[in-house]
Amino acid sequence: MKIKTLLYIFALKSIVFCDGVTAKELLFCYEDKNIAPMFLGEGQNTPTDKPGASIEILQQLDLALPDVEISYVRKPWRRCLNDLEFNRVDAVIASYRKGRENLAVYPINEQGKLQSKYAVSEFGSCLIGRYKFHKEWETREVFQNKAFTIAIPNGYGLNSALKEEPFFIHNTFSKSKAFELLDKGVVQASVDLCQVDGLKVSSYPYEGNNVKPIYPPYETSHGYLIFSKQFYEENNALSLKMWQWLSKFESAPIYIKYLQTLK
């Protein structure tokens, strides 16, 4: 009886204190819409097969670091940000926007500058259209406002420079609908992910209509794993460890793999 008791205590300690490490749970929130190639699927469930490139990367991080255990919750994007601000979730993946540093912690150096080497992703977004649009875009300064019609999926942020361009913006519910309107000639242009970590890519599914991106990208953005202030204060060493792992991980092939399956 005594031997069995000792074995039970040893087994319990091995589970809870494996190698002296107790895994810290991290609750990650992401959008409940299909945002390819980052997040796939709709609703509250995380797909077990092909969950999206960003989730696959986090799953690999989870496997690589024994001192963190990641769980997932899906909500509307604004809810994720609100829950992050009030410490109801621990992390999201987000680009930098002015003011977000007040509700979450980004990887910054001692001078307060963002460290893009710690980003989960680096994406370039391009305008896409047919040859005629390309030629007219080169001389767009001679046009009046709203000379071109562009289909933009809801949720796409347009920087201030693009907002000043001569576009009439047609908002669509999804990227696939925007591409469909471009394919049918209803609009002259749309936007597409055209670069991942400097590599040229495309998710435009229609062939034979001469739709091409305009390089260089009009916008390059980085997706950062950002933490709630409470999580970071309590786990700053672990947070840095996760950022360092992401800086060494080759994420581009995973994003490109998903883009190729979507076409």
Q: What is the DSSP letter of 102?
A: G
Look at residue 263 and tell me whether its pLDDT is greater than 80: no
The reported pLDDT for the residue numbered 157 is 62
Look at residue 66 and tell me whether its pLDDT is greater than 50: yes
Q: How far apart are CA 187 and CA 200, in angstroms?
A: 24
Q: Record the tokens describing residue 182, joined without a space.
A: 């471009």
The reported pLDDT for the residue numbered 160 is 55
Mean of pLDDT values over 140-158: 74
**49 alpha carbon, distance to own chain's centre:** 18
Residue given tokens 């977000």 in the structure block: 100
Residue 175: which H helix or E strand, with range?
Answer: helix 175-183
Mean of pLDDT values over 143-164: 72
Look at residue 156 and tell me whether its pLDDT is greater than 80: no
Q: Record the tokens describing residue 253, joined without a space.
A: 């092939």
Residue 236: which H helix or E strand, with range?
Answer: helix 236-248
Q: What are phi and psi of 231, to 5 degrees?
A: -60, -45
pTM: 0.82
Q: How far apart are CA 120 and CA 117, in angstroms?
A: 9
Burial of 102 (0-12, 13-18, 19+ CB in 10 A): exposed
The reported pLDDT for the residue numbered 76 is 93
Look at residue 1 and tell me whether its pLDDT is greater than 90: no
* Nearest CA among 124, 118, 158 for reference residue 243: 118
Q: Are 250 and 121 in contact (CB under 8 A)?
A: no
| Cβ-Cβ contacts under 8 Å for 45 (sequence gap 6 or more) | 74
| Residue pLDDT, tens place only, 97-114 | 888 999 999 999 989 899
Burial of 162 (0-12, 13-18, 19+ CB in 10 A): middle
DSSP for 113-143 reads -B-GGG-SEEEEEEEEE-HHHHHHHHTGGGS
Mean of pLDDT values over 170-176: 86
User: Dihedral angle at the C-alpha atoms of 144, 145, 148, 153, nearest 10 degrees?
Assistant: 170
| Residue pLDDT, tens place only, 209-252 | 799 999 999 889 999 999 999 999 999 999 999 999 999 999 99
Q: Are 60 and 250 in contact (CB under 8 A)?
A: no
Confidence of residue 183 (pLDDT cuts 50, 70, 90): very high
More confident residue, 122 or 34: 122
